[in-house]
Amino acid sequence: MAEPLRIDLDRSSPVPLYHQIATAIESRIAGGELISGAFLENEIALAARLGISRPTARRALQELVDKGRLVRKRGVGTQVAPERIHRSVELTSLQADLERAGRRPTTKMLSYETVPADRDVAAALEVAEGEEVVCIRRLRYAEEEPLALMTNYLTLALAPSESELVAHGLYDALRARGVQPRVARQRIGARVATAQEARSLDEVARAALLTMERTAYDDAGRVIEFGRHIYRASRYMFDTTLFSH
């Protein structure tokens, strides 16, 4: 473990001590002094060194765990979390975003099958309920770390092959077929992971997940795909830019 961080506390400040500690540690992470994977002293050592109570030290570290800046692993200790992927809310594939961020993406195909469209999928794809569509489930990795579970539905006429999707992002595969994604409607939310999702994403039970539903259209206004994706909140975030009118 690296040398303990110097943390100066202002005990006369109205800012709680735990928050002062968390802010000091987070600033070291943001400044690159603490890099991904670096170990921190445990709460007992931190409390003794700073002359604070153990609950105060625990709360400081937990605040950073909750923000995704630190991770705690039983039997291993407290470490700086891997840098989260920042994804702009624009019409790009996750693979393209990872490549742009300098992260090496890989894909595990979980299933590729033809299924009858249920009511929600049929409405999204603008096809008849029960019509056969292609359902694709993939697990996306960033540098061998699981990041997202992606389920996409496409019509039989537009769906790329399984081999195309292992090698390329969905939108790149569509463009290679002459389909030009142009605009999308999407909904972003959050929930906790199911047991199966937690195992697939190498997360703890009931970990926080980001969710996204997206319906994408081509330049002629035709629906080209409907997706339901979940992302590890500890590794991923969406960035948005808002404008006033």
Nearest to 234 by CA among 121, 173, 164, 146: 146
**Using an 8 Å Cβ cutoff, are 171 and 99 in contact?**
no
Asked if pLDDT for residue 239 goes beyond 80, the answer is no
Q: What is the pTM of this model?
A: 0.61
The pair of structure tokens assigned to 126 is 């603008």
Pairing mode, if any, of strands 39-40 and 77-80?
A: antiparallel
Beta bridge partner(s), residue 115:
133
Q: What is the pLDDT of residues 45-95, one digit of tens each?
A: 999 999 999 999 999 998 888 777 888 877 778 888 876 544 444 455 555
CATH topology of domain 85-239: Chorismate lyase (3.40.1410)
CATH number 1.10.10.10 is the correct assignment for the domain at 17-80? yes
| pLDDT tens figures, 176-227 | 989 988 888 888 899 999 999 999 999 988 999 989 999 998 877 889 999 9
pLDDT digits (tens, 9 = 90+) for 162-178: 988 877 888 889 989 89
pLDDT-derived band of residue 149, with 50, 70 and 90 as boundaries? very high
Cα gap 236→190, rounded to integer Å: 12
The domains of the chain are located at: 17-80, 85-239
